[in-house]
Each structure stands twice: as C-alpha cells, then as structure tokens.
Amino acid sequence: MNISHPAHTHVNHVEAIRRDHFKIFESRAYLNSCSQGALANEVRAAYDLYLDQLEEFGSLWDTWVGVQEEVRGQLATLFATHSDQVAVTTSASAAMNAIASCFDFRNGPSKVVTTSLEFPTVGQIWHAQERNGAEVVHVPADSDHRLPAERIAAAIDGNTAIVSITHVCYRNGAMNDIKAIVKAAHERGVPVLVDAYQSTGAVPIDFEDLGADFLLGGVLKYMLGSPGIGFALINNKTSSEFVPTTTGWFAARDIFSMDISQYDPAKDARRFEAGTPNVPSLYAARAGLKFLLEVGVDNAWRVSNQLHNQLRAGVNELGGVCVTPENPGEHGPMLAIASTDEHALVHAMAQDNVVVSSRDGNIRISPHFYNNSQDVELALASMAKNRHLLTPP
C-alpha cells in the first residue's frame, strides 16, 4: 500500500490478534467487518475439507448433521447458554420469519413495537404480518441516534404482542440498552426479540443474563463465517408456548421419522429450523467459530474499542463528524462518519486499499481483533486525502 501517513498521526500501537491468519491484510487495510468478516485461512480450508469429503464419499448425512450440532454447541458456548436454546438457520431472516409465524395477531394482541433503527429484514417481516392483523409501530430515535429505553417502554400497552429491537444499528453503530428494554417489556408480560447481527462476535453477550426471549444473528460478520448460516436463540423459560407455522423437516422432533401425517415439531429451539441446512457454510461456520472462541469475544471487544478511540480522535482532527454515540454502552463495534457523498468516499478509500462501506450518508468503519493501529492510520490518511468528502461539524 502506498499511502503516506498524515502529519497528525495518532498511532498508539494497538496490536492485532492472530492477524497473520488473514491474507487480505497483505494488500489491504480491511475495516469492513460490519459487512463481512475477513477470511481466515482456517475458514478457507474448511471449504476444501467439505469438497474433499464430498468428492471421496458423496453423501455424508451423519457427518453433516454432526457438523451442524457442533455449530449449535459453539453458538451456545459463545452466548453462555445451552445448545437446546439454539436454532441453526440459513439466515437471520429465516429465523425471524419462523418466530413471526408464531403470532396470531387477529385473535390476540396485535401491536408490534419496533424502532426507526432496524435493519430492513426486521421492518419488512413485521409489516408483512399486517396482512395477518398486526399493527406495527416504529418508535423514533433522537437525531443523535440515541433511543432511551423509557421511550420504548412508553409505547408498550395491553395490546402489544412483541417488542422487536436492534442491539446495534446497522446504519450508525448506535447501541440500545437491551436489558432495560427487556425489563420494561417483561413487567407488562410482553416478549422481546433482539436483532444482534451487528454485535454478535464483537460484543460480549450473555444470553441468560440478557433475559431476552429471542435473539437473532448470523455468522458472516464478526463471527468469521460466510453467508448461509443464521441462528436464533430461544429462551426456553419464557418462549415454550411459541410454535412456528413456518417450518421444515429439520424442525421435526425426529427428523428421520419421515412422518408426513402430522406436524410434530421439536420441543427445543430446533422447532424454529426448516429444511436441509446450508452444509458448505456449516463447515465454514464451524471453523470461524472455533477461531473466534480461541481469540475470545472479550479480547476482540478490547481491541476494537482501543481502535475506536484512535479513529475518533483522528476524525475530529480532520474536521469530520463521527455520528455514532461515544459513551460506553451506547455504541457497537462499528463507527459511522458523516460524508457529503458516502459512495464516492468508499470508492476513493478503496483506491487507497482501505476497505470500508456506507449506509445512510455515512461511511462505516468496523475494526475487529485482527486490525491494528496502522489500519486506522491508513484509513485516516485516506480520509485526509479526500477531506472534501467529509461532512464538517
């Protein structure tokens, strides 16, 4: 890479963890884990293993089911919960559709309380339920992207069927106080669904301590996997009465009974699964989760927080604006920086071999444990070179 460092360097020598396992850093400063995690050598090798086994043995159902169960167990470990509370799906959307199908909005509470910070999957799936009698209410965040838990609580009433809330907003990195929202909802007997796609693998999450009824995510971002594997955590203590009508044979109590005469869903979280899993992606997920568990999410969060501080200081000195809330507990692993033309700035930084992404007028920079201070300095140098594309304070 041939970017010179800006005169105003903020190098504080934050060291990456196991960076040499990711070839992309030989040619680029990759800071786009909020879109797709960097590819580890081990994850690439997992695809080779799948293809080698397929070539040599053909169908390996017992092996493939075993890989899925390993992934289920790894997810349970990552979230400090039990494997019978983990559903392995092909996407977060598939998991959410199964959850949404549990509700009878015409013969029970019909109100869905959600927010202005949600990913399109969340809004679109809930609005699709309007055909079944749902009433969707979006609680607006403030102009600084903060959303007080009290405002969510005020929207919950006797007609509320569920509260659906993002943990970290995909557009700007703002983080919600999930525990406070869960407490307020549960005091009114209302379940809570958490979309944690933009935090899982980067922010420590204890599902038991969080107390939510449902938590969704996927493995392709900070969890180092690839597209094709999502998951849902299901709180058995609070959600046993929820049975989906969106289903498939892997959701059956006994998947090998091949019974077509009745609906006999699993009693645990597997009832939220569907058809044949995405087997190649399961191999990648297993390798990525193994790597992440060895690194530790606590360590990943420590590294990214240090790099956040470096990035914020550099952006401020450049005269730019970081729109992500700064206080602890108010932001996730991604920081958003306002731009006059976010697409042009993403392209310009790519020309400097710095990989970021954009949403909603901002560029998104998302360090993970494999990033270091030099990556941030290269990003700041590229932004300095393209200062005209930064929105001034």
- Asked if the model's pLDDT at residue 313 lies above 90, the reply is yes
- Asked if the model's pLDDT at residue 1 lies above 80, the reply is no
Q: What is the pLDDT of residue 4?
A: 44
What is the percentage of the chain residues whose pLDDT exceeds 70? Answer: 97
- Residue 219 DSSP symbol: S
Separation CA 329–CA 203 (nearest Å) = 10
Please say whether the beta carbons of 317 and 376 come within 8 A.
Answer: no
Separation CA 323–CA 343 (nearest Å) = 17
Q: How confident is the model at residue 6 (pLDDT cuts 50, 70, 90)?
A: very low
DSSP conformation letters of 106-150: TSS--EEEEETT--HHHHHHHHHGGGGT-EEEEEPPPTTS---HH
Average of per-residue pLDDT across 331-349: 98
Q: Which amino acid is at 345?
A: L
What is the distance in angstroms between the CA of the first residue and the CA of the last residue of the chain? 30
pLDDT digit string (tens) for 37-86? 999 999 999 999 999 999 999 999 999 999 999 999 999 999 999 999 99
> Which of these CATH numbers, 3.40.50.12140, 3.40.640.10, 3.40.50.300, 3.40.605.10, describes 45-293?
3.40.640.10
Average of per-residue pLDDT across 202-213: 98
Please say whether the beta carbons of 159 and 111 come within 8 A.
Answer: yes
Q: Is residue 162 classed as helix, strand or coil in its secondary structure?
A: strand
- Give the angle 142-146-149 at the CA atoms, nearest 5°: 105
- Asked if the model's pLDDT at residue 278 lies above 80, the reply is yes
- Asked if the model's pLDDT at residue 229 lies above 90, the reply is yes
Phi, psi of 86 (to 5 degrees): -115, 125
pTM, rounded to two decimals? 0.95
Q: 């980067």: which residue's tokens?
A: 202
Q: Is the dihedral of CA 322, 195, 233, 209 positive or negative?
A: positive
Q: What is the pLDDT of residue 11?
A: 52
Separation CA 2–CA 63 (nearest Å) = 47
For the chain, state the CA radius of gyration: 22
Structure tokens at 304: 């990214």
Please say whether the beta carbons of 106 and 132 come within 8 A.
Answer: yes
Q: Whole-number mean pLDDT of the chain?
A: 96
Helix axes 373-385, 297-318, angle to 10 degrees: 30
Average of per-residue pLDDT across 182-190: 98
Task: Write the CB contacts of 173 (distance below 8 Å, at least 6 apart in sequence).
Answer: 198, 324, 325, 331, 332, 333, 334, 335, 336, 364
Q: Is residue 214 classed as helix, strand or coil in its secondary structure?
A: strand
Average of per-residue pLDDT across 273-297: 97
- Asked if the model's pLDDT at residue 341 lies above 80, the reply is yes
List the domain boundaries for the chain.
19-39+296-389, 45-293
Please say whether the beta carbons of 216 and 231 come within 8 A.
Answer: yes
CATH superfamily of 19-39+296-389: Aspartate Aminotransferase, domain 1 (3.90.1150.10)
293: buried, middle or exposed (CB in 10 Å: 19+, 13-18, 0-12)? middle
Q: How confident is the model at residue 14 (pLDDT cuts 50, 70, 90)?
A: very high
Separation CA 290–CA 71 (nearest Å) = 9
- Asked if the model's pLDDT at residue 219 lies above 80, the reply is yes
Q: How confident is the model at residue 176 (pLDDT cuts 50, 70, 90)?
A: very high
- Asked if the model's pLDDT at residue 8 lies above 90, the reply is no
Q: What is the pLDDT of residue 13?
A: 87
Q: What is the pLDDT of residue 12?
A: 66
- Asked if the model's pLDDT at residue 104 lies above 70, the reply is yes
Task: Write the CB contacts of 257 (distance below 8 Å, at least 6 apart in sequence).
Answer: 264
Average of per-residue pLDDT across 310-322: 98
Q: 């990525």: which residue's tokens?
A: 288
Q: How confident is the model at residue 256 (pLDDT cuts 50, 70, 90)?
A: confident
Separation CA 36–CA 43 (nearest Å) = 13
364: buried, middle or exposed (CB in 10 Å: 19+, 13-18, 0-12)? buried
Please say whether the beta carbons of 379 and 29 come within 8 A.
Answer: yes
